[in-house]
């Protein structure tokens, strides 16, 4: 029988700092993920044993976190052939209904206590989110969040998936727990709706990057610096509203056939001005970065690293020792730049999105 994890807003951890001498104890969510993941590693359910990864911080202002993970590049399942950002689910291909049941850590759902009734007097149906190990992990705790696998949803974000992704970050007391999403054409390897979650105990620049306000009342901003992208920010009490707006953006991108990556992490409140050291350490809310990018269909993979959700956020899992040892920040920027929209296209998209969101 599946282990069930039922949570509520009372389980969200709001008092989190990036740097703290007193590391907070693992939350109930953290204990479940970490213990379940470690158990599956001990039982040999992964494609390889993930030990402590060799890590270095690349010199330069971006503070890229480089990690050597050769086995992931060799052992991971061959990505499916993706031909369209709106490609339909294909039951004959690999999907998460075909996994070994022992790979499932738990089934998580939000309790209905305190939730408003629907207009007909019924309670809303809780979303069933299956949490399973990623058998080719890129870091400790690497798991997948799959909304009710039996629905056979394609890799296109839903409001519920976004909301549970944000809530998963809020359920963790560890500022290093991250969640992300790759669309089709943005290095998603399986066309069955899923998000990634994992722990990375290194600070990323995206957690405190300065922003340009676009529609502040909708918590919608533009990320300053490299790589260019959009940013949402939410505290625990705004998750439902912000998740809906994020989905308005990703639905627009899908409708325009624009590939995209998302990265969700604890972060300080967005600001367009330099903040104090104390303000930059605050992690009470969640930053959600969205990068529209050039779609890749059947494209040759990069030899050093692929450009997907974690690489855009500044976490670089390298496939080979040579590139890990020698790649510079300038070379990383050159590789990433090839997958970003040209400046004029991004500017045009920004104007379209602002106009679109203001009409909703």
**220-223 and 229-234: which strand pairing?**
antiparallel
Cα 293 to Cα 184: distance, rounded to the nearest angstrom: 11
Angle at 134 between CA 63 and CA 200, to 5 degrees: 25
DSSP character at residue 100? -
Contacts of 127 (CB under 8 A, 6+ apart): 109, 110, 147, 148, 160, 164
Residue burial 250-269, b: 16+ Cβ < 10 Å; e: rest = bebbbeeebbbbbbbbbbbb
Question: Which of 226, 246, 232 is CA-nearest to residue 285?
Answer: 232
Q: Give yes or no: 194 in active site.
A: yes
Question: Which of 51, 70, 48, 69 is CA-nearest to residue 134?
Answer: 48
SS (H, E, C) 178-193: EEEEECCCCCCCCCCC
DSSP character at residue 115? P
Half-sphere exposure of 306 (CA within 13 A, CB side): 20
Question: Which of 317, 99, 66 is CA-nearest to residue 187?
Answer: 317
Angle at 195 between CA 347 and CA 233, to 5 degrees: 50
Residue burial 296-324, b: 16+ Cβ < 10 Å; e: rest = beeeeeeebbbbbbbbbbbbbbbbeeebb
DSSP character at residue 34? H
Q: Which of 142, 192, 194, 196 is catalytic?
A: 194
Q: Which residues are catalytic?
A: 194
């Amino acid at each position: 029988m599946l282990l069930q994890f039922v949570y509520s807003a009372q389980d969200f951890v709001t008092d989190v700092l990036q740097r703290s001498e007193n590391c907070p104890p693992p939350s109930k969510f953290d204990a479940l993920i970490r213990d379940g993941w470690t158990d599956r590693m001990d039982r040999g359910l992964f494609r390889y044993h993930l030990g402590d990864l060799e890590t270095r911080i690349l010199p330069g202002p971006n503070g890229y976190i480089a990690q050597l993970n050769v086995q992931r590049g060799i052992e991971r399942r061959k990505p499916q052939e993706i031909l369209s950002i709106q490609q339909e689910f294909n039951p004959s291909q690999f999907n998460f209904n075909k996994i070994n049941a022992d790979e499932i850590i738990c089934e998580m759902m939000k309790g209905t206590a305190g939730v408003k009734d629907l207009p007909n007097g019924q309670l809303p149906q809780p979303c069933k989110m299956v949490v399973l190990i990623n058998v080719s992990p890129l870091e400790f705790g690497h798991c997948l969040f799959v909304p009710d696998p039996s629905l056979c949803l394609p890799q296109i974000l839903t409001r519920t998936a976004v909301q549970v992704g944000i809530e998963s970050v809020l359920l963790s007391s560890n500022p290093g727990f991250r969640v992300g999403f790759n669309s089709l054409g943005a290095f998603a390897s399986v066309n069955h709706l899923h998000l990634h979650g994992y722990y990375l105990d290194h600070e990323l620049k995206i957690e405190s990057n300065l922003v340009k306000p676009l529609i502040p009342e909708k918590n919608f901003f533009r990320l300053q610096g490299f790589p260019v992208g959009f940013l949402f920010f939410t505290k625990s009490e705004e998750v439902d509203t912000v998740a809906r707006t994020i989905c308005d953006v990703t639905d627009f991108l899908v409708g325009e056939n624009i590939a995209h990556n998302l990265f969700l992490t604890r972060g300080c409140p967005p600001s367009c001005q330099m903040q104090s050291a104390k303000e930059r350490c605050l992690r009470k809310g969640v930053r959600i970065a969205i990068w529209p990018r050039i779609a890749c269909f059947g494209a040759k993979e990069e030899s050093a690293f692929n450009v997907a959700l974690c690489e855009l956020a500044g976490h670089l899992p390298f496939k080979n020792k040579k590139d890990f040892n020698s790649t510079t920040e300038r070379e990383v920027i050159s590789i990433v730049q090839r997958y970003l929209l040209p400046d004029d296209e991004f500017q045009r998209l920004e104007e379209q999105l602002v106009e679109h969101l203001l009409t909703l």
